[in-house]
């Protein structure tokens, strides 16, 4: 098995965390952490918050009250980047009135050299900038920022997995559990492999240990995370793959649900679907991004499957998991996409029937192969295609929601406020129902749909209290 990256040793970082904590004496220090982007970033922010806690910080919801503001950023589309820069700009005024406030930016966007350069030049009030690779070195970097009272930039790439970083989870009952980091796929439109580095799987023992601990401490829903979970284990060369990992977690004792994301169709095997079918604790929700229904576009995207192979995968999955709930990602307006290509995407959406679809207008990313591909279709035309796709899927999503009315499903009360619980169906639909015990499962009969939320009536007692 691989060693954790020797460059980043958590014990060394813990010492830095204690040194930072030592600076505060009895004074209270508050941090404001804001997360952009995907679940991987949400999970990273739970680590950043865990480290901040060790450094003596408590947390606030308002940047104005904070001694340290940390933005964990996303680079996946231009819009995401602009939002971050806008919000960083808005901190200038707050900082002007609070000179010793520390502003720190980290995450995917900061791993891009041109972004870090822009921050260096145009945002002089930002104190600390670090990329995804430096995340576990946050205590050391913050110590340097405070001790040197200067500006610190660290864009070093990370080569490996660092274990032992403290985690401050947002919820007691649901948890993100990263099983791997990075991506090797280099889809031609995508920035992720450049800002997250190569695939590194966590050792199965570590993942199983963390899952066991989570369940023992009352966590009822675990979501395994990776950019492409189906390539889990390829770099470990110890006989483990994702199906095996999933199966071993699913047989741990206790009542819990197991989700995972994301699956790349090129690596999703029949064995994976068989594993889901055989284990009732594994969610019946499958997020399987297809990106385009046109083989020509899929080739240009370097996705390494055809639309026919995608359909075959779905057919097999539905055969072995009849109650499968399928969701997907799709990109409209990839460079060179024609009306005919788009019609093929629409046909796939019509035919496959997704419960929900995450639709994106193509966004050009610096340094990716697609950046330089000819892109003749005007924005207005792409926007019309996009609207058409939204209309088609909108009807399907509504039908999927309405279908729940009258059905009963086991739902975890994730949060309870004023005797009203909120949770999700196995397929991910938000649910609201009267209940008073957070962290318990209830069998809920759905009575109506309002917007994108289901309302329902639970059995009178939580599932566990019945015999
Ligand atoms: N690793 C995951 C997805 C990561 S990004 C996977 O492969 O499924 C989430 C989604 O953002 C992608 O599935 C894709 O649909 C979309 N996306 C990524 N880069 C994009 C770009 N440059 N423009 C528009 N959408 C993009
Ligand atoms: Fe991006 Fe493709 Fe990797 Fe997903 S699999 S993160 S879309 S390069
Ligand atoms: Fe964004 Fe990074 Fe996730 S680019 S989508 S936060 S991996």
Tens-digit pLDDT profile for residues 429-440: 999 999 999 999
Instruction: Determine the 3-state secondary structure of 238 from DSSP.
Output: coil
- Among the bound ligands, name the one nearest to the CA of residue 189: 1
Query: Which residues of the chain form CATH 3.40.50.12160?
Result: 10-154
- The pLDDT of residue 204 is above 90: yes
| pTM reported for the whole predicted model | 0.95
Would you state the structure tokens that stand for residue 220, as one six-digit string? 């009822």
Residue identifier of the C-alpha nearest atom 1 of ligand 1: 227
Q: Is there an atom of ligand 1 within 6 Å of 345 CB?
A: no
- The pLDDT of residue 2 is above 50: no
What is the arithmetic mean of pLDDT over 154-181?
A: 93
C-alpha 196 to ligand 3 mean position (Å): 8
What is the arithmetic mean of pLDDT over 335-352?
A: 98
pLDDT of the residue at 286: 96
- The pLDDT of residue 1 is above 70: no
What is the arithmetic mean of pLDDT over 316-324?
A: 97
Q: Is there an atom of ligand 1 within 6 Å of 91 CB?
A: no
- The pLDDT of residue 46 is above 70: yes
What value does the mean pLDDT of the chain take? 95
pLDDT of the residue at 96: 95
CA separation (Å) from 306 to 5, 131, 296, 389?
Answer: 37, 35, 9, 20
The fold adopted by the segment(s) 174-395 is: pyruvate-formate lyase- activating enzyme (3.80.30)
For residue 379, give the H/E element and its range.
helix 379-402
Torsion of CA 104, 105, 107, 112, to 10 degrees: -140
What is the arithmetic mean of pLDDT over 177-201?
A: 97
Q: Give the C-alpha separation, 265 to 403, whole Å.
A: 27
What is the arithmetic mean of pLDDT over 426-453?
A: 96
pLDDT classification of 402: cutoffs 50, 70, 90: very high
Superfamily of domain 10-154: Methylthiotransferase, N-terminal domain (3.40.50.12160)
- For residues 260-291, one letter each, b for 16 or more C-beta atoms within 10 angstroms of the residue's C-beta and e for the rest, the string is bbbbbbebbeeebbbbbbeeeebbbbbbbbbb
What is the arithmetic mean of pLDDT over 56-76?
A: 97
- Among the bound ligands, name the one nearest to the CA of residue 76: 3
Q: Is there an atom of ligand 3 within 6 Å of 190 CB?
A: no
Segment among 148-162, 181-195, 358-372 with least mean pLDDT:
148-162
Query: Which residues of the chain form CATH 3.80.30.20?
Result: 174-395
- The top-level CATH class assigned to 408-465 is mainly beta
- The pLDDT of residue 348 is above 50: yes
pLDDT of the residue at 463: 65
- The pLDDT of residue 4 is above 70: no
Q: Cβ–Cβ contacts within 10 Å for residue 9, how many?
A: 15
Query: Which residues of the chain form CATH 2.40.50.140?
Result: 408-465
Cβ within 8 Å of residue 224, ≥6 positions away: 177, 178, 179, 207, 245, 246, 249, 258, 259, 260, 261
Q: Is there an atom of ligand 1 within 6 Å of 262 CB?
A: yes
C-alpha 337 to ligand 2 mean position (Å): 19
Contact assessment for residue 274 and residue 247, using Cβ atoms and an 8 Å cutoff: no
Report percent pLDDT > 70 for the chain: 97
Q: Give the C-alpha separation, 142 to 149, whole Å.
A: 10
Q: Give the C-alpha separation, 408 to 138, whole Å.
A: 46
- The pLDDT of residue 428 is above 70: yes
Cβ within 8 Å of residue 404, ≥6 positions away: 425, 429, 446, 449, 454
């Amino acid at each position: 098995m691989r060693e954790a990256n020797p460059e980043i040793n958590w014990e060394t970082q813990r010492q830095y965390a204690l040194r930072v904590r030592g600076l505060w004496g009895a004074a209270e220090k508050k941090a404001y952490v804001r997360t952009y982007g995907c679940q991987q970033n949400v999970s990273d922010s739970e680590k950043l918050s865990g480290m901040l806690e060790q450094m003596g910080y408590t947390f606030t919801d308002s940047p104005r009250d904070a001694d340290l503001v940390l933005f964990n950023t996303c680079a996946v589309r231009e819009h995401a980047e602009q939002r971050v820069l806008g919000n960083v700009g808005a901190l200038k005024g707050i900082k002007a009135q609070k000179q010793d406030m520390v502003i720190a930016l980290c995450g995917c966007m900061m791993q891009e050299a041109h972004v870090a350069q822009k921050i260096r030049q145009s945002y002089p009030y930002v104190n600390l900038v670090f990329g995804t690779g430096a995340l576990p070195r946050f205590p050391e970097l913050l110590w340097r920022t405070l001790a040197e009272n200067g500006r610190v930039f660290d864009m070093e790439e990370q080569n490996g997995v660092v274990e032992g970083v403290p985690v401050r989870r947002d919820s007691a009952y649901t948890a993100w559990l990263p099983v791997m980091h990075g991506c090797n796929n280099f889809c031609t439109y995508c920035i992720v492999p450049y800002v997250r580095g190569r695939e590194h799987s966590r050792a199965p023992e570590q993942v199983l240990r963390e899952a066991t601990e989570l369940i023992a401490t009352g966590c009822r829903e675990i979501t395994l995370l990776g950019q492409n979970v189906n390539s889990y284990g390829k770099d470990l060369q110890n006989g483990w793959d994702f199906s095996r990992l999933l199966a071993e977690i699913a047989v741990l004792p206790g009542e819990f649900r197991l989700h995972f994301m994301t699956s790349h169709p090129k690596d999703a095997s029949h064995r994976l679907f068989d594993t889901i079918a055989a284990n009732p604790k594994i969610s019946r929700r499958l997020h399987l991004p297809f990106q385009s229904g046109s083989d020509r576009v899929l080739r240009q995207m370097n996705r390494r499957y055809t639309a026919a192979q995608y359909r075959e995968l779905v057919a097999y999955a539905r055969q072995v998991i009849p109650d499968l709930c399928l969701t997907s990602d799709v990109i409209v307006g990839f460079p060179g996409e024609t009306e005919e290509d788009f019609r093929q995407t629409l046909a796939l959406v019509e035919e496959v029937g997704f419960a929900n679809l995450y639709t994106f207008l193509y966004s050009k990313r610096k340094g990716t192969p697609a950046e330089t591909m000819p892109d003749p279709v005007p924005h207005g035309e792409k926007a019309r295609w996009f609207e058409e796709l939204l209309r088609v899927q909108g009807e399907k999503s509504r039908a999927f929601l309405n279908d729940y009315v009258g059905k009963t499903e086991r739902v975890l009360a994730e949060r309870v406020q004023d005797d009203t619980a909120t949770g999700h169906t196995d397929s991910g639909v938000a649910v609201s129902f009267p209940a008073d015990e957070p962290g318990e499962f209830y069998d809920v009969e759905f009575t109506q749909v309002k917007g994108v939320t289901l309302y329902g009536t639970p059995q009178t007692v939580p599932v566990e209290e019945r015999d």
